[in-house]
Amino acid sequence: MTTKPLGMVETKYFEFGRHPHEIALECGKKLGPLTLAYETYGALNDDRSNAILVLHALSGDSHAAGFHPGDKSPGWWDSMIGPGKALDTDKYFVICSNVIGGCKGSTGPSSLCPSTGKPFALAFPMITIGDMVKAQKYLIDSLGIQRLLCVIGGSMGGMQVLEWVRAYPEHIRSAIPIATALKHSPQQIAFNEVGRQAVMADPSWDNGNYYGKGSPERGLAVARMIGHITYMSDKSMEQKFSRRLIEKNYSFSFKSDFEVEGYLRYRGDSFVKRFDANAYLYITKAMDYFDLSGGRFIPQGKKIEVRFLVIAFKSDWLYPAYQSQEIIRFLKIHGLDATYCEIQSTYGHDAFLLEIKEETHLIKHFLDKTFHGYDVAREYVI
C-alpha cells in the first residue's frame, strides 16, 4: 500500500475541570480549569471502535503528524501516521494530546494561574504520569470513545501506555509500549537530575520566576545537550560524526572544533526556542516518580483483556532492552497476550523515531489483527 502525506492539520483545545470539578492530582492538590491541546487524524467510525491514542515523549507535543501553516517539517511522528502508514488514517482515528505540565498548548507552569493572572511558575503543582493519563481520559470521554483500539508511545509515551493499562484496562483493547520501562532506574533519574540542575544553575532561572524577563536558555540548552548524548549510541555517533572537524584545523580555543560539538550546541539552542524550562523540570520529575514495579502495574488476581506489543532496540542504553524484557516477563506471568520484538538498530534510544520500516511492519500487523479480532468478537456477541 502506498503512503500519502496528511497535508495541513490543526490543533484543537479541550477545556475541562472548572470549579468545582477540578481534577485531583496524586500530590494531593487539585488543578483546574485545564486545557489539553490535541490533534486528530483520520475519521472515527460509526461505532467508535477505531480510535488510537498516541502518547508523546518528553519533548514531544500534540503535533504528531501533518503540517501547520508555515511549517518546514511535519509533526514529530509523521512517518508513522497517515494514509497507508503504520497508524493508517484510512482505517483508524488517531489522537495525540500534549500532556498537562507541558508548554505547547496544555496547562503547565507557563500557563496563567486563575487566581493571580500571572504564570504559575513553581506554584504549579507537581504532576505524575498518572495525572497526565487521567487528563487524557477526560479528553477521550469527551470524544464519546468508550474503548480505545490502542494506546501507543515511546519513551515517556511508553510510560503513559503502561499507566493507561494500570488505570483504565477496560477502556483499551491493546497497548504498544516502545523503548520504555516500568520504573526509572537510578541512572535514568541521575541523567534527569543533572539536566534539572543545569537549568536551575542558570542565573536567569530566578527560582522559576523568569517569565517576561528572559528564560534560562543556557541552562536548558545544556540539559538538552546531555539528553541528546543519551538518545544516541556510541556506534551511531561514530557513524554520524566520528572525529570530523568543522574547520580544517583545530582552533586551539573553546569554540566548537568537532562536528559533534556543533551538533549538540545546535540541538540545545533549537530546543530553548520551543520549550519552557519549568515544563522541562516538571515533566522530567514526573518521569522519575513513575514506578509500576511489583504489584502496582497489574495487582495479583486482577483480570485484564489487553493485547500487548512490546518493542525495544538493541543499542538503546538509555532505556535498555532488559527493561522491556521485564515488562514482557511480567505480562507473560499474568497470562496476557503479549509479543516482544527487539529491533537490531544502531540508533540508540532515538531508534523509536527512526526505525520506521521495522516498526511499521510490526505495528501494522498487530493493529490489523487487533482491529479485526475486536470486530469479530463484537459481532459474535450481537
Q: Based on the residue annotation, tell me whether 337 is a catalytic residue of this protein.
A: no
Which pLDDT score is estimated for 55? 98
Structure confidence by residue, pLDDT tens digits, 273-298: 999 999 999 999 999 999 999 889 98
Question: Does position 378 have pLDDT exceeding 50, yes or no?
Answer: no
Task: Evaluate whether 267 touches 256 at the Cβ level (below 8 Å).
Answer: no
Q: Report residue 219's pLDDT band, with 50, 70 and 90 as the boundaries.
A: very high
Which pLDDT score is estimated for 301? 76
Q: Based on the residue annotation, tell me whether 350 is a catalytic residue of this protein.
A: no
- Are residue 175 and residue 208 in the same domain, yes or no? no
Structure confidence by residue, pLDDT tens digits, 245-274: 999 999 999 999 999 999 999 999 999 999
Task: Evaluate whether 62 touches 105 at the Cβ level (below 8 Å).
Answer: yes
Which pLDDT score is estimated for 379? 30
Which pLDDT score is estimated for 1? 57
Question: Does position 135 have pLDDT exceeding 50, yes or no?
Answer: yes
For residue 5, tell me if it sits in a domain: no
- Are residue 177 and residue 248 in the same domain, yes or no? no
CA pair distance 188, 173, nearest whole angstrom: 30
Residue 136: closest CA among 208, 51, 67 = 51
CATH number, domain with residue 248: 1.10.1740.110
- Are residue 258 and residue 326 in the same domain, yes or no? no
Which pLDDT score is estimated for 42? 97
- Are residue 89 and residue 59 in the same domain, yes or no? yes
Which pLDDT score is estimated for 376? 33
Question: Does position 107 have pLDDT exceeding 60, yes or no?
Answer: yes
For residue 192, tell me if it sits in a domain: yes
For residue 249, tell me if it sits in a domain: yes
- Are residue 161 and residue 114 in the same domain, yes or no? yes
Question: Does position 374 have pLDDT exceeding 80, yes or no?
Answer: no
The torsion angles phi and psi of 182, rounded to 5 degrees, stand at -75, -20
Q: Based on the residue annotation, tell me whether 21 is a catalytic residue of this protein.
A: no
For residue 82, tell me if it sits in a domain: yes
Which pLDDT score is estimated for 4? 77
One of 288, 316, 324, 345 is an active-site residue; which one? 316
Query: Using omega within 30 degrees of 0 as the cis cutoff, is the peptide bond preceding 33 cis?
Result: yes
Share of the chain above pLDDT 70, in %: 97
- Are residue 369 and residue 296 in the same domain, yes or no? yes
For residue 24, tell me if it sits in a domain: yes
- Are residue 178 and residue 325 in the same domain, yes or no? yes
One of 56, 63, 184, 349 is an active-site residue; which one? 349
- Are residue 178 and residue 262 in the same domain, yes or no? no
Number of domains forming the structure of the chain: 2
Which residue do the cell numbers 520529575 mark? Answer: 285
309-318: string of b/e by CB count within 10 Å (b at 16+)? Answer: bbbbbebbeb
- Are residue 323 and residue 281 in the same domain, yes or no? no
Question: Does position 45 have pLDDT exceeding 60, yes or no?
Answer: yes
CATH number, domain with residue 340: 3.40.50.1820
How distant is the alpha carbon of residue 210 from its chain centre?
Answer: 26
Range of the domain at 272: 188-286
Structure confidence by residue, pLDDT tens digits, 53-87: 999 999 999 999 999 999 999 999 999 999 999 99
- Are residue 245 and residue 128 in the same domain, yes or no? no
For residue 7, tell me if it sits in a domain: no
One of 49, 110, 155, 345 is an active-site residue; which one? 155
Residue 336: closest CA among 139, 175, 110, 142 = 175
- Last residue of one domain, picked from the residues 245, 265, 286: 286
Q: Report residue 377's pLDDT band, with 50, 70 and 90 as the boundaries.
A: very low
Question: Does position 375 have pLDDT exceeding 80, yes or no?
Answer: no
For residue 36, tell me if it sits in a domain: yes
- Are residue 249 and residue 105 in the same domain, yes or no? no
- Are residue 216 and residue 239 in the same domain, yes or no? yes
Average pLDDT estimate for 166-170: 96
Which pLDDT score is estimated for 324? 98
For residue 154, tell me if it sits in a domain: yes
